[in-house]
Amino acid sequence: MGAALFYHLTRSPLEATLPLLLAKSLQAGWHVVVRGTEAARIDWLDQTLWKGPEEAFLPHGVAGGTHDADQPILLTTGREAPNGAQCLMAVDGAEVTAEDCAGVERVCILFDGNDPAALDRARGQWKALTGAGITAQYWSEEGGGWQKKAESG
């Protein structure tokens, strides 16, 4: 059963933090599913990842293509993981369940710390997941770096 890591974004936006986490996941040998809530936002993430520096290219695709199973990183609004993902990254308040955690090595929940609704959603996800016995960590940006602020389990 995978642990859930909560990333409270206060200084760096999603488009800066997500590529770093994706690169680390690929370095670990994992396939990743990035789950969002809106198709337009997934398209924006797709375009953003293509704009990165060539030396930091992150091979990815948007779900619904003929090669979904081959994608190291698959962007989706759905619950499926046809690429055999070992890591699930949830953005923009996408739902994550204990069952999702059971099927992967790691779940990363990235949320905008400057948005009160996103904070409330993340708190609810923390409570639901830890209540279901999922080990969780809470990471916050402080002093220019990430620091673990809380851990359950």
**For residue 27, what pLDDT is reported?**
95
Domain count, the chain: 1
Residue 119, classed as helix, strand or coil, is: helix
Distance of CA 92 to the CA centre of its chain: 9
d(CA 120, CA 125): 9
Strand ranges (DSSP E) for 67-135?
Answer: 73-76, 87-90, 106-112
Give 39-57 as a 3 state SS string.
Answer: HHHHHHHHHHHHCCCHHHC
> For position 134, what pLDDT does the model report?
96
Q: Which residue has the tokens 């080990």?
A: 135
Structural domain containing residue 94:
3-151
Cα-Cα-Cα-Cα torsion 77, 138, 85, 57, nearest 10 degrees, comes to 80
Residues of the chain under the 50 pLDDT cut: none
Q: How far apart are CA 20 and CA 107, in angstroms?
A: 15
What pLDDT is recorded for position 2?
83
pLDDT the model gives residue 139: 96
Q: What is the pLDDT of residue 142?
A: 77
The enclosing domain of 115 has a CATH number of: 3.40.50.10110
Token digits of residue 42: 């997934």
Q: What's the one-letter identity of residue 133? A: G
